[in-house]
A and B are shown apart, each in its own frame.
Chain A
Amino acid sequence: MTTATSTAKASVASGLITAGVDVGASAVKIAVLRIGDDQDVSVLALRADRIRRRDLRSVIREGYALALEEATVAPEEVAYAASTGEGEMVDFRRGHFYGMTAHARGAIFLLPEVRAVVDVGALHARAMRIDERSRVLGYRMTSQCASGSGQFLENVARYLGVALEEVGPLSCRSAHPQQVSSICAVLAETDVINMVSRGITTADILKGIHLSMAGRFVKLLRATGAEGQVALTGGLAADVGLARALQEKVNEEGLAMEIHTHPRSIYAGALGAALWGGYRHRVLARRAGVPA
């Protein structure tokens, strides 16, 4: 199994160039890799673009072009461009991998010791139990409710006038986290408004929300039978406050789990898709009897 290596712009002349495009509900993440014959992986480019209200296909195309430029790779050099997430929007893709498959692979690439993954995106969260090859052994997803999603956290941050990147550090400074509804995003938003009017600090509000979300994720993890090392991936993996809250909830429930994030965790889907793309390229080349 390959592991993460440092970003190296075309430092290895030979090898397979693959790309992974993870189209999420609020951002497009792109990874460009060079996979050597010895399976050593160089990350040539990583890119995340917020979709906002732009045309999604344009965001994908422009982001892909810029990622290839950063990797100093021409489009025709890419042996396999893989999509994950809303893959049909990636019209240049050769193959598509499902979110769980891609995130599991990306998580093992970044953190080889993990055996479970919590992928928190803008609209959904899911927990997976995986094996050392990144095969998904069991999973659970959140229901339609938005209160366990990144979009909900983003909305609250906006109400509080806090930039997204400040949410995690602020939450970590909380001394008296305030409990919010863990059931319904609408009720939780009402809770937040009440807290603001009661003069609760922003840090305590955010920590309360993180704990509420963490409580839901712990239930998902428990339902999959996960234990041991757990990776946090997806758009909210960069939120140190959420990671800390998740660890606290795990400890509180006496579960034998350690929560990990990686600086590249938000790219886990794109990395996983690119890695699987490399695998599939070699399989297809072998079947066709041509060199990979």
Chain B
Amino acid sequence: MKPELEQLVHRAQQLYEDLDLAAVRTWKQAAPGRKAIGYMPIYVPRELMHAAGILPVGILGGGDRLEIIRGDAYFQSYICHIPRSTVELALSGRLDVLDGMLFPSIGDVIRNLSGMWTMLFPGRYVRYVDVPQNFDPKVGGAYWRRELETLQGDLTRLAGRAIKDDDLRHSIAIYNQNRQAIRELYQARSWQPWVYPTSELYLFLRAGNVLPPEEHTELLRQYLKLAPLEEDRKEKDHSRVVLVGMFCEQPPLGLLLTLERAGCWIVDDDLLLGMRWLTGEVEVEGDPLANLVTAFLEQSTATASRYQPEGDRGRALVESVQHNVAEGVIFCAPSFCDPALLDQPMLIAALDRESIQHTQFKYSEDTGQFAVIREQAGTFSDSIRLWSEA
């Protein structure tokens, strides 16, 4: 690896591994009065926080780098892992740098975590961001507008400054640039997954959880520029797969590496979906809150934590397979993730109708043994390459 890219990857890796949020602390210390608010995976209107001068910080649990000592005491054994490690992070003081937490509606566990947070940390700003499941502008749109206005009021008080329309328009433009860079990266990875391996792309995407969007966009642009200069990144005869099910609790990096080593090029995924929730740009001109509402209603991505009429999500998955010229789908969901696992039968039915091959397995964010997954993914890749034309 050339030194310039090596440094860039190293930085992204450091940000990924830093459970103490040092980058956030550094950002806050750079100017007096700066505030940061954490948010759990899936969509929150980061533009509002940015417009208030607040740094939105994505919190994705402790992954495989945190020993759970206290977190397990709060949850039954049949609950997913991310709330345990998130509670552990908070109780160990690692999240003290945050001035508040937003919990978007992903599933029951994250919704209930917002209530637990209120009890565990009285006095800290906590809000359950209950995104609409009705996409009629007069119903869900009106509701979402009120939610955004409430959140805007909260953030104004927290930041100690009003969020002007021009501030919000500017923030929308900044996040549009960030979304555009991510879309370009995903498109580039889809074309040449050997140039932008997912195990690396993920690190760069994840850096956006702790960096201001302007800095994150620049980081992505540099990666887009530098990765193709690596001469040893050559095309290999791997199968092209879409990964589904990882929109909330993230898989350990080792799992992504394992899939690639097992002969799978990941050409689309739902990792860190909150950053890519809006599939297009948000209109900058006009009423910025109305633009955010319209974008949510019209441009939300297809995923299990969002209501869609029967068949729509299956169609979206098939379209992703076709658009990315994928040869198969790997359902890779966290254990006990109800939204992801309950959707699987419908998605599988949609794939079966199109004769698209698929396999499935489960993980936990702290999974450390990948031998079985490697065997399964490798055999799946072989099956696609050797038997799909039989």
Contact = CB atoms under 8 A, between A and B. Distances in A.
B378 interface: yes
Interface in B251-272: 261-263
Nearest to B261: A88
Interface stretch (A28-36, A45-53, A89-97, A187-195): A89-97
Given A88-B261, A276-B386, A283-B389, A98 B378 contact: yes
B386 A284 contact: no
A135 B387 CA distance: 8
A276 B384 CA distance: 13
A119 to B, nearest CB: 13
A51 B228 CA distance: 34
A101 B236 CA distance: 18
Contacts of B238: 95-96
Interface string A97-112: 1101100000000000
A276 to B, nearest CB: 6
Contacts of B236: 93-96
A219 to B, nearest CB: 19
Interface in A276-292: 276, 279-280, 283-284
Nearest to A287: B389
A136 interface: yes
B230 to A, nearest CB: 13
Interface in A67-124: 80, 87-88, 91, 93-98, 100-101
A133 B385 contact: no
A280 B263 contact: no
Contact of B379 (A87, A91, A100, A133): A100
A159 B382 CA distance: 40
Contact of B237 (A94, A101, A135): A94
B390 interface: yes
Nearest to B374: A98
Contacts of A88: 261
Interface residues of B, number: 17
Given A88-B261, A101-B379, A136-B379, A279 B237 contact: no
Given A88-B261, A136-B379, A95 B237 contact: yes
Where chain A touches its partner, the secondary structure class is mixed
Nearest to A284: B237
Nearest to A136: B379
Contacts of A276: 382, 386
Contact of A98 (B237, B379, B387, B389): B379
A23 B186 CA distance: 33
A249 B70 CA distance: 52
Given A88-B261, A284-B237, A97 B389 contact: no
B375 interface: yes
Interface centre among A96, A135, A279, A280 (most CB of B within 10 A): A96
B381 interface: yes
B241 to A, nearest CB: 14
A117 to B, nearest CB: 14
B237 A280 contact: yes
Interface string B243-287: 000000000000000000111000000000000000000000000
Contacts of B390: 133, 135
A276 B381 CA distance: 13
Contacts of B385: 95, 280, 283
A178 to B, nearest CB: 33
Contacts of A94: 236-237
Interface string B349-390: 000000000000000000000000001001101100111011
Given A133-B390, A280-B237, A284-B237, A101 B261 contact: no
Contacts of A96: 236, 238, 262-263, 378
Contacts of B375: 98
A98 B381 contact: yes
Interface of B: 232, 236-238, 261-263, 375, 378-379, 381-382, 385-387, 389-390
17 contacts: A80-B237, A91-B232, A94-B236, A95-B385, A96-B236, A97-B382, A98-B263, A98-B378, A98-B379, A98-B382, A101-B379, A101-B386, A133-B390, A135-B390, A280-B237, A283-B385, A284-B237
Interface of A: 80, 87-88, 91, 93-98, 100-101, 133, 135-136, 276, 279-280, 283-284
Given A95-B237, A101-B382, 12 more contacts: A96-B262, A96-B263, A97-B263, A97-B382, A98-B375, A98-B382, A133-B390, A135-B387, A136-B379, A276-B382, A276-B386, A283-B389
